[in-house]
Amino acid sequence: METYGIEKYGIMNPKSVSRNLSPAVLVETALKTEPARLTDKGALLIETGKYTGRSPKDRFIADEPEITNEINWGAENKKIAPETFERIYGKVAAYLSNRDLYVFDGFAGADHKFRIAVRVINEFASQNLFMHDMLIRPEEKELKNYKEDFTVICAPGLKLDAAKEGINSEAAILVSFTKKLVLIAGSKYCGEMKKSVFSVMNYLLPKKGVLGMHCSANMAQDGSGNTALFFGLSGTGKTTLSADPNRGLIGDDEHGWGDDGIFNIEGGCYAKCIDLSAEKEPEIFGAIRHGAVMENVIVNSDTRVPDFTDKTLTENTRVAYPIDFIPNAVIPGVGGHPNTVIFLTADAYGVLPPVSKLTNEQAMYYFVSGYTSKVAGTERGITDPVCTFSTCFGSPFLPLDSSVYAELLGEKIKKHGSNVYLINTGWTGGAYGVGKRMSLPATRAIVTAALNGELAKVEYETEPFFGLAVPKTCPGVDSGILNPKSVWKDKKEYDRLAKKLAGEFVQNFKKYTHMPANIVNAGPKA
């Protein structure tokens, strides 16, 4: 029996080892060996149990001498002793021994200069199909002399003893950069595998002068090479605004910016399904077919038609599919240096402009801040929105200090002349509960004007609270809404909340102790 060398991971005497099986065979196997079903369009449907999303408190990095001074240790990058890693590694290997196992050998990084070979070893065929969809799939000739650079070993059925192992729960997501190994135990949520690979790339790429980015990317289809990046946290409209039928989709979530331009790190997409409809997101809706993997979506037991509004298991329902399931996908996923970089924020305070053009230093400041906000809570006395900051729009996936990523972004936008815009898709005319959500057609018009270069040509004025350059006009948009204060009835309340939000930015930025002064000084002066 061919084992493809998995003995070197301590996995002994497997019942069988299947490598790079076709989607059809993986689907058949999952239906036979797992609690899995088919939906009406042929997608494979699984449930992930108690873990229906990533588990940040269960993610650790081995504190090895070779890398200990490189890692930005803290709540996001928690230390685990090398001996603890080794002990859990032994338990994962022992658990997977004597089982039927599934190996997928693929790549991360569409730019061949920066790609790494990633081997994934799975307990479940469904998870192997997920990684078949998410990684870049090799050609047959590339498998003959394939040698992995990093390995992900996934054993969801292994429940660990938290007290005994010195971890936080029965689940563990462990990374060893010196052993070039990721261990996932206890959680069947597929996103842990995908994001572990992204974290590895965000450690490796900056060493080569490449910026890893948690963003989507698209490009013009007219041969001009006009490309754009869209950064934004959940609820900001990143997926909706970057999914443009008139532009090619380079990728929906993870990219690198290297010497020759931008490239997709992945070979697939991992889209949210909640409230999905054919009318609003036809490309994603159409991608849910044979070969796709759906997580925690409720379906009609007779017809197997999904109910995308049903949140019974989780609001974080998901589907993974190869990017070539999208009609306007760019294959391979590479593009030129971006003409336009867009930071999306859903400001529930209603005080940020619908669009502002950022200087190089401001771009680094707002990139590091990664701001959006949530609506006010339901607790008595809580009336103001709640700020959310995520470093570089992806703090859980950044092993190095934030200044590394910020300075790389600054270098690249300066070198390549990229225009950077902060676009508010949140509230206008008042905070949440008083104002209204920014009009989607107006936001689309702003994005279009940014992408085609028109916004770079208009006259700007500087607003007083954040020092942001606000356009006086924007093609296709009512000029009256561009200055946020002008559409507020209660000007004093606008001033209060603008000062409050500016103060939140300043307070949040204090934690970035290694940030250069020019970036710190580009923020609000509250």
Q: Which of 18, 39, 48, 54 is an active site residue?
A: 54
Query: β-pairing, 371-374 with 386-389?
Result: antiparallel
Q: Which of 239, 317, 369, 372 is an active site residue?
A: 239
CA separation for the pair 212, 253 (Å, rounded):
11
Q: Which of 115, 132, 238, 357 is an active site residue?
A: 238
Is residue 39 among the annotated active site residues? no
Helix (H, G, I), strand (E, B) or coil at 133: helix
Is residue 238 among the annotated active site residues? yes
pLDDT of residue 385: 79
pLDDT of residue 526: 65
Counting DSSP H helices and E strands in the chain, the numbers are 13, 31
Q: Which of 59, 214, 337, 357 is an active site residue?
A: 214
Quote the radius of gyration of the chain (alpha carbons, Å): 23
Is residue 234 among the annotated active site residues? yes
Is residue 485 among the annotated active site residues? no
Q: What is the pLDDT of residues 328-361, one digit of tens each?
A: 999 999 999 999 999 999 999 999 999 999 999 9
Edge-to-edge strand ranges of the sheet holding 227-232: 247-251, 216-220, 227-232, 340-345, 419-424, 355-358, 469-471, 460-462
Q: What is the pLDDT of residues 146-187, one digit of tens each?
A: 999 999 999 999 999 999 999 999 999 999 999 999 999 999
Q: Give me 379's structure tokens.
A: 């607790």
Q: Which of 59, 318, 357, 412 is an active site residue?
A: 318
pLDDT of residue 72: 96
Is residue 214 among the annotated active site residues? yes
CA separation for the pair 526, 501 (Å, rounded):
9
E runs forming strands in 287-446: 293-295, 298-299, 306-307, 318-322, 334-335, 340-345, 355-358, 371-374, 386-389, 419-424, 427-428, 436-437
Is residue 415 among the annotated active site residues? no
pLDDT of residue 376: 57
Query: β-pairing, 318-322 with 427-428?
Result: unpaired
pLDDT of residue 380: 47
Q: Which of 119, 195, 247, 337 is an active site residue?
A: 195
- The DSSP code for 188 is -
pLDDT of residue 379: 44
Is residue 499 among the annotated active site residues? no
Q: Which of 252, 253, 347, 401 is an active site residue?
A: 253
pLDDT of residue 378: 39
Is residue 137 among the annotated active site residues? no
Q: Which of 33, 224, 234, 309 is an active site residue?
A: 234
